[in-house]
A and B are shown apart, each in its own frame.
Chain A
Amino acid sequence: MAQIHLEVVTPSGPVVSEDVDIVTAPGSSGEFGVLANHAPFLTTVKTGVLHYRKDKELKYLMVSGGFAEVSDNTVTFLVEIAEYGHDIDVPRALQAKERAEKILAQQQAHDENVSRVQTTSALQRAMARIAAAERCSKQL
């Protein structure tokens, strides 16, 4: 099967750089899949779970904040956070989720939207982390 080169780059260095069969990622206008020889494409990526298949093996990554570019049979993800499902500290993510939910619930009462956006994105990150870790562990 024809392969496509996948690169995931974060500010603290490249996370993935390998040839894969298919990549599926959370685009801002819906999930999208990329196969070999995809047309040049540029899209933003939202917080969520990215997964790719290589030799019948599925791998899951949590990604947050960035964009994806496809050109010359290479798909590059530039994201601020990228973590493999098996590296994720689940208890910590759960704690973060609870914390964020609590803050959001309290804010609803006061209707104060000062850091609402920040808290919401923290919640999204926590949930994406949990989802990536879960899907990764189910597979094993």
Chain B
Amino acid sequence: MPGLKEVKNKIEGVSKTSQITKAMNMVASAKLRGAQQRMEAFRPYAAKFAGAMQKLSGGAGAGQPLMAVREVQSVELIVITSDRGLCGSFNANVISKAEKLIAQYEREGKKVTLVTVGNKATRAFKRSGKIRRSFTDIMGTFQMFNARRIAEEAAEQFLSKAADQVELVYARFKSLSAQIPTQETLLPIIRPAEQQDKANPTEYLFEPSPAEILENLLPLYLNVQVFHAMLEVGAGEQAARMTAMDNATTACGDIIKELKQLYNKARQAAITGDLMDIVGGAEALKG
């Protein structure tokens, strides 16, 4: 049986840990609110953008280099994770998804290169030697220019034929308790499903021509896609951390309970021991 003091120290330690996890949970929930607001703010932009793309599609897509589908010999994966850990299996899930994809593409004889976004992905793939470029410490600021940097490079890679296909791997924020690792093709850009039958009564004036507008819009569309993925990861990270920290706090509570029992048992044993001594001493004096 461990000594009284040891158990007491342990209880103190665990309860301090639980204070930290509780605080982290609260911080994460506050940050999650911010992340969700950002997603909310981004939604009208994304929706309107998709609407305009739709108006432009149909004919205008022909000959756009960013839309050119060619035989895939090399794939670039953009793996997006958070910068920080302590959020359960949030990042591990994305990383293992990416690993599976790499294995699959390599089996098919395709060359795979990686772009890692976020410290966790960078660290996970450091030794694989496949990283072409990594962006770290950018997940804290949700700024469009970060997304633009990533998107511009992806477009460059695609246009220079260094990569025939570019894919995003990240965790989609489905709900507070579910963040789903997803894979999305970024390049070549696949035209949004055409709905020409849905009546196009308003004849638009285009300036310059639809094809030229599309040419200007496609790079922006990439920014939108990457930014969207980053926002999803940002919200997912906080949600995952909230859950993880909540679980940790509960676990701390359980451990404390067990330790307290142990402590009481030890205390009882000590008292009993002392009593035995006293009684034994008194017995001896009598005799």
Chain A residues within 8 Å of B, Cβ to Cβ: 9-14, 27-29, 32, 39-44, 65-67, 69, 71, 76, 78, 80-81, 118
Known contacts being A14-B44, A28-B216, is A41 close to B207, with CB within 8 Å?
A: yes
**Most chain A C-beta atoms within 10 Å of own C-beta, residue among B42, B148, B207:** B207
Question: Residue on B with the closest CB to A12?
Answer: B41
Q: How far is B43's CA from A13's CA once the two chains are assembled, in angstroms?
A: 8
Taking CB atoms, residues of chain A closer than 8 Å to B213 are 42-44, 67
* Inter-subunit contact A67/B206 (CB<8 Å): no
**Chain B interfacial positions (CB closer than 8 Å to A):** 38, 41-42, 44-45, 48-49, 52, 55-56, 142, 144, 148, 152, 202-208, 210, 212-213, 216-217, 220, 223-224, 227
Q: What are the 10 closest A-B residue pairs judged by CB atoms, nearest first?
A: A13-B41, A43-B207, A44-B216, A40-B202, A41-B205, A40-B204, A9-B45, A11-B144, A42-B204, A11-B45
A-B contact pairs, 14 of them (CB 8 A): A10-B144, A11-B42, A11-B45, A11-B227, A12-B38, A28-B216, A40-B202, A41-B207, A42-B207, A43-B208, A67-B216, A67-B217, A78-B52, A80-B148
A63 to chain B, nearest CB (A): 13
- Contact A27 B207, CB 8 Å, known A12-B42, A13-B41: yes
Closest to A71 in B: B202
Specify which chain B residues have a CB less than 8 angstroms from the CB of A81 in the assembled complex: 144
With A13-B41, A65-B220: A40-B48 Cβ-Cβ less than 8 Å = no
Q: Contact partner of B48 among A9, A27, A80, A118, CB < 8 A? A: A9
Select from chain B the residue with minimum beta-carbon distance to A80: B144
* Chain B at the A interface: SS class: helix
Nearest B residue (CB) for A115? B152
- SS class of chain A's interface: helix, strand, loop or mixed? strand
Chain B, Cβ-Cβ closest to A69:
B52
Instruction: Determine if A42 and B144 form an interchain contact, defined as CB atoms under 8 angstroms apart.
Output: no
B44 proximity list for chain A (CB < 8 A) = 9, 13-14
| Residues A12 and B205 in contact in the complex (CB < 8 Å), given A43-B213, A76-B48 | no
Q: Which of A10, A67, A80, A118 contacts B52 (CB 8 A)?
A: A67
CA of A14 to CA of B217 in the docked complex: distance in angstroms? 19
Contacts A11-B42, A12-B41 known; A43 to B206 CB distance under 8 Å? Answer: yes
**Distance from B58 Cβ to chain A, minimum over Cβ atoms (Å):** 13
**Which of A28, A42, A118 counts the most chain B CB atoms within 10 A?**
A42
B217 touches A10 (CB 8 A): no
The verdict on A80 contacting B42 (CB below 8 Å), with A29-B208, A42-B213, A44-B213 known, is no
